Amino acid sequence: MGLMSGALTVRRFKVVGSTPPDWRDAYRDRLNAMAFREPGPQMGKEELEGWVQVHNLLDTEFDDLNRWLYGNYAVFSLRVDKKTLPANLFRATVEKQAQAWAQEHGVERCPAAKKKELKEELEEAWLKRTLPRVATTEICWHVTEGWLLVGGLSERTVERVRKRFHRTFGLELHAWSPLDYVAAGGVADQLLGTSPTIVGGVA
């Protein structure tokens, strides 16, 4: 939980769009609607994603505002689950099964259609026994000031957060660079009007 303790590696964004007057209740309902849903044992290779509490990735309810809202700061995480199989071991097992089938049926080679069937059956069986890889990305959003921190630098992660955020809240995330800060609030004019610092008697 980098947002709660330790160093942070984040990207900052401007939140573009209008905030409803009752945003606390509205955003609670939207987080609940787009929260992570635990998959059943039939989960395949598709990725599953949804919002979770930043304190524990198994907490998927946002009814208690005190668990995720700190003044005007909304803090939560995006959880992504994906099952993967060991590719080299899987291929080797399919080949062994195909060879065994060919030997059992007295043919030189397992037909492509049968091999595909064996592969699909093995994949389904292995996926049922496999736990997903779970990744979380922390979000800190100052709702009233309109900026947001994403706990990661990966473009893929950021794009996923952007899309999910827009689907959930109807708001867009625009990258915010240090130059945006300088341009805001007359900071640039302030800096231009400041005398240069003199070092060693040379301006």
Q: What is the mean pLDDT of each run of 10 residues along the chain (203 residues)?
A: 64 95 96 90 79 96 96 96 89 92 90 91 85 93 96 93 97 81 57 56 48
| Structure confidence at residue 50 (pLDDT) | 97
Alpha-carbon distance of 160 to 196, in angstroms, equals: 44
| Structure confidence at residue 203 (pLDDT) | 46
Which pTM was predicted?
0.75
Q: Kindly report the CA angle at 107 between 114 and 113, in degrees rounded to 5?
A: 15
Q: Position 171: which residue type? A: L
